Each structure stands twice: as C-alpha cells, then as structure tokens.
Amino acid sequence: MAGGLKAGFVRLMHHLQDPQHVARFQRLCGVRGTEPRDRLRYGAPNARHGDVQSGGGDTARRRTAGAESDGEKGSNVFANGAAGDNVNGQARDKEAVEAQGSAVKPFRRNSLTGDVGQEFIIDNKFLFYLFTLGTELGNELFYISFFPFFMWNVDAYVSRRLVVVWVLVMYLGQCTKDVIRWPRPASPPVVKVEMFYNSEYSMPSTHAMSGTAIPLCLFLLTYSRWEYPLLLGLSLAISWCVLVCLSRIYMGMHSILDIIAGFLYSLLILVVFSPALDIIDTFNCTHPYAPLIIISLHVGLGLFSFTLDTWSTSRGDTAQILGSGAGIALASHINYHLGLLPDPPVSVLPLQPPSFTLSLIGLCLLRFLLGVLILLATRVVMKALAIPLVCWLFGIPSNDVRKARQHMEVELPYRYIVYGTVGLNALFLVPFLFAHVGLL
C-alpha cells in the first residue's frame, strides 16, 4: 500500500514537472516560437525535462559570458535552426508566422551567459503585458520601488516586518534551489519569453514564493492595523499571488511543480515565522547588541549560501537580499534611538486611510522621486568604491568586472556592502533628510 502511494506520488511529480504543460499554457495564452519546422525536427513532443537545449541547469550555469562560441555571438532569430536549412526557407517561415502576430524578443539578456534569446510570436498582447507586469512584481525593480515607497508614504512599522519576511523567503528559496538543482523547463518545447534568470536552477520558484509571501503578509500585517474592507484586501492579495505564479509559467521559466512547491513553501515559512515577527522587530530596534548580531548573522548566512554551488546569478541575488535586509534592520535600530519614524501608539489603532487629494498625491510622489534619486546615487557611489576595493583586498584583477564578480570573495562583500548601504539609507537617511526639509 505504502509502495503504491509512493509510486503514485512520484508519477504525479513527474507529470507536474513535464515541460509540455508549460508549452501548452503558453500556446493557450498566444505565445508561439518562430521556428515551427525546427520544433518538429527536434521532436518537441518527446523533449525531456533538463535536455541540453533548455539552456538551464548545470550546462548553462557553468558557462561564462566569455565562453560563447563565435556562432552564438553572431546568432539571429534563426540561430537554433537546423544547419541544413536554407536562408530563403527560413525567411518564408518567419514571414508566415509574423503575419499572424507580433514578433518580439526577451527584454533582457541572460545575466550570466549574455544570451539574448530567440524571437517568438505574441498573438495576445494583453496577456503578454499582463504577465510581464506579473513577473516584474518579483524582480529587483519592484522591490527597490515598492518597499521604499511604503516606508516613506504609508507605514514604516509594516514595511520593517515585511522586509524581514521577504529576506527569509528569498534566502530560503535561493538556498533550496541550489540544494535540489533542477534545471529550467526544456526548450523546445517551451518558449523562453524571459532569459534573465534562465541560468539559475528552477525548484522552487522564488517568484512564486515572494509573490505569495509579500501580498499575504501585507494583508495580515495591515488588516488589524488599518481600516479597509476585508474582501478588498483579500481579493488584492490573492490576485497578486495568482498573477505572479501564472506569469512564471507564461515566461517559460518554471514548471507547474515549481510553482506549487514555491507557493506551499512560502505558506510554510509564513506559518512558522509570522508569530516571531514582533520579537524580531523588537530585537532589531531595542537590543543593545542588535547591530553586531545583525551584521554577523547576515554575513554568516551569505557565506553558507555561497558554498552550496559554483558561482551563479543566484549567489549575487542572495547577497543583495541579505545586505538589504541587514541595512534596513540597522536603520530600524538607529531610528528607534533617534525617535525617527516612531510607531503610532496602540490607542490610535486602527489607522484611517487619508483622503486622497492632489496635494497628498503630489507630496507622496515628491518623496518617492527624491528618495529614489538618493538611493540611486548611493548605489552608484558604493558600487564604484566597493568593487575595486574588494578586488584589491583579495588580489583579483578588476579590469573585467563581470569575471571578477564570479569570485565569491568579490561578489559577497560587494553586494553586501552596496545594498546594505542602500537599505540603511532607505529607512534612515532618506527619512532623516525628509524630516529636516519638512517633507515628513
């Protein structure tokens, strides 16, 4: 009996991991490759998850930006076609498929290999832009926009706790990827609508994890603190979660199993750590040794994660997340002792949302724009200082920055220093300056 259940569970896992399901969902949403003849020639229906053509997993992970062949560097939209195809036949195929939809390429090249990806056909532009928005809700641009805006304009109390959850979820997700080491869905049959993270491992989906944890935690933290309809908050949280999860399948970056695992993993982390958020935040703000422990803990976690695998883009992301979390935790400690951004007393809860006026909207936008300019300047200055300094300390040539950053000795301290400073300035320096110029 137990053996039968185990065998059935294994079959279900393989079924959910099948890249054909991803390809079917993409076709249903109007995404098609530009090489139908080549898909048939390569036998896409029988393509196995993890084949070399997928560009994911160990094969792509161990390629560096300078290791591409001359043929790869000179590739065009038909670069992966069969060597015997003639140019005229390819042109006719391209014209035929483009006549039925819009031919586009991934917005960003792969951050490790530099691969720009192939063209694909979009038949449904609305879904393309909708799922592009969904996947951006789990990317760096969203994090560096959403968290600061929430800190400066809505509720610093909630944002501090939300960042703690984000750091835990992303760190555990990235480490789990490098323990399991499953490749991305194979291509073909999957169309790679996104290339940026294609060299990272796949299981679990950290986009699904953050897309689950952030909206649900935001709802849990704000519902008893702010007055708004329960149904509205719950609907927004669920919609956010579903959009991010489906976007990763649409982009060809994850299997259904990756998404389900990321969703459930994130729920488990929330259940375990949510009761401890008050304890963690109080410790960060009030304990006299909090700064030393925060820095030591985050550096230690970074060192552990960097020993899990060879260099990849996920290593830098992990250091960046840990650095941001450490900087914001340190800022919480400084703010508490300086009385900056004080938490409102319990007696005034629940808080009433302010009336949306033009002056309020203008003030929020002004804070956001000025704050982002300060954070961007911080990033540029610290990056210019940190990389040469770290390379000098460890005797690593700094003339090729991409190659230098593939050394753990460079990537970990560089990311940690830069984004630790950005996090510190986001919650301390920017509000401090706003308070002195009358913008708070």
Residues annotated catalytic, as ranges: 207, 254
Among residues 211, 196, 195, the alpha carbon closest in space to that of 143 is found at: 211
Q: Are strands 31-33 and 120-122 parallel, antiparallel or unpaired?
A: antiparallel
C-beta of residue 252 within 8 angstroms of C-beta of residue 22: yes
Among residues 264, 111, 73, the alpha carbon closest in space to that of 200 is found at: 111
Q: Please compute, for residue 322, the number of CA atoms within 13 A of its CA located in the half-sphere on the CB side.
A: 31
Cα gap 87→129, rounded to integer Å: 32
Cα gap 294→427, rounded to integer Å: 16
Tokens of 222: 């704000």
Cα gap 157→278, rounded to integer Å: 10
C-beta of residue 405 within 8 angstroms of C-beta of residue 418: no
Cα gap 424→326, rounded to integer Å: 8
Structure-derived torsion over alpha carbons of residues 94, 95, 96, 99, reported in degrees to the nearest 10: 120
Its sign, for the CA torsion 38, 39, 44, 45, is: negative
Tell the residue number behind the tokens 């294994």, with chain if given.
Answer: 10
Among residues 99, 76, 22, the alpha carbon closest in space to that of 253 is found at: 22
- What does DSSP assign to residue 200? S
Please list, in sequence order, all residues whose beta carbon lies within 8 angstroms of the beta carbon of residue 330, skipping any fewer than 6 positions away: 291, 294, 295, 420, 423, 424, 428
- What does DSSP assign to residue 175? H
Residue type, 351: L
